[in-house]
Every structure is written in C-alpha cells, then in structure tokens.
Amino acid sequence: MKRMVLLILLIAGAALLVGAGALPQVRSIELPPDNPMSQLKPGPGVEVVRADCVACHSTDYIVRQPRGDAKRWGAEVKKMISVYGAPVDEADAKVVVNYLATAYGPAEAKETKEKSSAKPGAKTP
C-alpha cells in the first residue's frame, strides 16, 4: 500500500515537472539579415547613402518609396535629420538628395508608369 502511494506521488511529481516544462520561461527568435534584393542602385554618391542612411533601417525603406525629384527626396532627408536625428551633415545631405533624385528620380517614374499601365490587369486603384 505504502509503495503504491509512493508510486502515485512519483508519477504526479513527474507530471508536474512535465507540465512546468510545457510553458517555457524563455523564448527567443533570431532575425535574418537585411534583404539583399533591395540594395541601392549604383550611382554617384551611393557610398554616402550607404554610410549615412542604413543605421536605423534597411535599404528597402529607400528603394520601395515612390520616385521623386530633389524636392521630394529633400523633404525625406530633412525629415530623417530633424525628426529622427539622422547624423547627416549639410554637405552629405546634398549628395544624398542628388543621388536619390537621380537613381530614384522622376524619369524613372515615367518608365515604371508606362510599364505598368501597359500591363493588362494592372491594379486600378
């Protein structure tokens, strides 16, 4: 009888342990590296963008944006500096805006637009 009780206690104890093990106290994940498919296009000034614009976010943030002229990109760069405190001095900012307005400029936009409007079934917003 005593042995029986002991056995039950042992089984109950084991079940408790298993139960506790089912709810892990520590959980962790590991994030993958930056998306290699969103690297900046080559062009004059690209090395400045690589140095100044990748600390807080991956380059997908830049290459996925709508195309824009110097005014539009200028506003983005200004926002990075004044709103988020990006460490970019005036000389660098000029180079960055110049690069963006060329590599991701409005000329590009026309091309993309023509391409997509020529496509049947393109999204009509």
Partner 1 sequence: MSSNFMRTGISRRNFLALAGAAPAVASGGIFDAVRALAAEDPILEGRPLVKYPEKTDLILLTSRPPQLETPMKYFAQAITPNDAFYVRYHMFPPPTRVDLSAWKLKVGGNVDHPLEFTMDELRSKFTPARLVAVNQCSGNSRGYVEPRVNGGQWGNGAMGNAEWTGVRLQDLLDRAGAKPGSVDISFRGFDTPAAPTLHHFAKSLPMTEVADSPDIMVAYEMNGAPLPMLNGYPARLVVPGWYGTYWVKNLEEITVWDHEFESFWMQKTYRIPANHCECVPAGTALTRTVPINRMKVRSFIITPADGTRVKVGRPVALKGIAFDAGYGIADVEVSDNQGSTWQRAVLGRDLGPYSFREWSAPWTPPHRGSFTLSVRAVNRMGESQPFEANWNPAGYLRNVIEKIQVTAV
Using CB under 6 A as the criterion, which residues of the chain lie in contact with ligand HEC when the complex forms?
52-53, 55-57, 61-62, 65, 76-77, 79-80, 84-86, 88, 96
Q: At what angle do helices 70-82 and 90-103 cross, to 10 degrees?
A: 140
Q: Is residue 122 near partner 1 by the rule CB under 8 A?
A: yes
Contacts for 115 with CB less than 8 Å, ≥ 6 apart: none
Q: Which does 19 bind (CB under 5 to 8 A by kind): partner 1, ligand HEC, none?
A: none
Amino acid, res. 87: P
Q: How far apart are CA 32 and CA 119, in angstroms?
A: 34
Amino acid, res. 47: E
Q: How many CB atoms lie within 10 A of CB 93?
A: 18
Q: How far apart are CA 23 and CA 27, in angstroms?
A: 10
- Choosing from 10, 87, 110, 114, the residue that interacts with partner 1 (CB under 8 A) is 87
Query: Closer to partner 1 at the Cβ: 11 or 79?
Result: 79
Q: Which does 80 bind (CB under 5 to 8 A by kind): partner 1, ligand HEC, none?
A: ligand HEC
Q: Is residue 4 near partner 1 by the rule CB under 8 A?
A: no
Binding site for partner 1 (CB under 8 A): 23-39, 50-51, 54-58, 60-61, 64-66, 68, 72, 76, 81, 83-89, 112, 116, 119-125
